[in-house]
Structure 1
């Protein structure tokens, strides 16, 4: 691949998805008051990343309609913005990483996980997440990240928790890392220009960074747990209490969409072009997470233990109340 094509791919992925993250892309009906053809209007907030492909696929295949739901998808920020919107009822459901949801629950926010979002492949060479360093870096392993500046998308979430674990497992001191918040689309450039020593990157930006010469030094999710549920779809306890039938219908539709994505990988790749403007050249090179329908409780317990160890939470999260 030529330097020109690499720059086109990087620019296309970064600019298009950054624009998507700042704006609002919707799928579904604009009529959120009355529904369509007797369907229940439901809105869900997601991130503009490959991992949410199953929900878009579920809309395209009519799965949510089959379960009586007229789904509107809103693309925007991560848990920092979606958690309060779900709590307030502005969003019915949202996609969020498991650490942020455990923190929210410990803070007394009435949130519950209702469907899996994505799971690590458990394999360093195939997982959709990695800690990478720029070409020519002296950092050769996660242990060398001790004292380094590492980019993550948000503090106190699955990123810094899993990076610390990789450093600890490799024999380094995870307390001596400077984490800097950067949006995923900005990370490949931050690596190239020396703004950070390393970055935790997910797809499609992992492929962009690797194409620009970045080197993976750790597979942070796979090293944390081979069956780690990284993110889930969640809702408010108020909605569960007031409209359990809609919550059940969403969960069933989401599980069916996850299974459909698993069974139809080509269609899962193709759906990316409908909610992002990623250059199609990059799609065959992307690494994908797995989309099982079950949330692995043992894996989440491992994460919870690390959160207590790192002082992110004061006490063990109650997974029995967090997972429906």
Structure 2
């Protein structure tokens, strides 16, 4: 008997848009599936939910999911690709009055990431190196999606690492300026995220 009711963890980011489009256009329904998205703030938050069977699958960045797999926390099965780094899909941005004007000004600055040591750092490290900036000078702090703007305005971070729709919102409402594209150069087309289940769940629900 095929499992038809699926609960899938998603992130409040543009990368998760496809699942909502599929629900809206009744694509899952046409396949006899009833899919419910459950929003989490970061991929690692959904991994215990997956292990405990609270959700059937999750969307998240590959780095966090592969790390959990390597640590033995979960045996994963990649179900589908989610997103790849595309030009202008991500942006390192500065506020209008910030002294940060060029990529070189990022040296020694504090930047937010959704989760430490994930795709965001990996991509930016490569792009910084390509711009002759020492990645070791950057200080990363974990900030959830909904807290980025508040952390930025209060000066807890010097520059913001944003994806859509936040890039457009920050540009129009705050006059923010783009300093660097972390999805360019050596990080272009880099696989960012995907949909996974546990290997056990996949074998039981082919």
Tell me the TM-score normalised to structure 1 length: 0.59
Bigger-Rg structure (1/2): 1
Structure-2 residue corresponding to 1:169: 130
Whether 1:132 aligns to 2:97 is no
Paired position in structure 1 for 2:109? 148
1:48-59 to 2 correspondences below 5 Å: 48-59=12-23
For the 8 Å contact 2:44–2:65, the answer to whether it is kept is: no
Equivalent positions of 1:9-48 (< 5 A) are: 40-48=4-12
1:218 paired residue number? 180
Matched residues in 1 for 2:139 and 2:59: separation?
27
Note the C-alpha offset of 1:194: 2.4
CA deviations 1:225-247 (Å, max 9, x no partner) are 32222211111001112121xxx
The residue aligned with 1:241 is 203
Instruction: Report if aligned partners of 2:127, 2:187 keep a CA contact under 8 Å in 1.
Output: no
2:85 matched to which residue of 1?
Answer: 120
Give the secondary structure class of the aligned counterpart of 1:155.
coil
Q: Deviations over 1:143-164 (max 9, x none)?
A: 3322111111211211222222
Q: Residues 188 and 208 of structure 1 are in contact (CA less than 8 Å); yes or no, is this contact kept in structure 2?
A: no
Q: CA deviation at 1:102?
A: 2.0
**Deviations along 1:75-128, whole A, 9 cap, x unmatched?**
12221211121122221111101211221222122012211112233x3xxx22
State the TM-score, normalizing by the size of structure 2: 0.89
> Does the 8 A contact of 1:130 with 1:218 survive in 2?
yes
**C-alpha deviations, 1:37-63, integer Å up to 9, x for none?**
x97111101012222221112112221
* Alignment partner of 2:190 out of 221, 228, 245: 228
| Residue in 1 that maps onto 2:48 | 84
Gaps of at least 5 residues in structure 2 are none
Task: Compare the two structures and name the one with the higher strand fraction.
Answer: 2
RMSD: 2.0
Partner of 1:319: none
> Which has the higher relative contact order, 1 or 2, with Cα contacts under 8 A spaced 6 or more apart?
2
Among 61, 77, 82, which residue is 2:25 paired with?
61
Give unmatched runs, 5+ long, in structure 1.
1-33, 245-324
Work out the number of aligned pairs and report it: 204
For 1:147-296, list aligned pairs within 5 A.
Answer: 147-211=108-172, 212-244=174-206
Q: In the alignment, what sits opposite 1:266?
A: none
Which one is further off, 214-223 or 185-194?
Answer: 185-194
Compare the two structures and name the one with the higher helix fraction. Answer: 1
**Separation in 1, partners of 2:69, 2:39:** 23
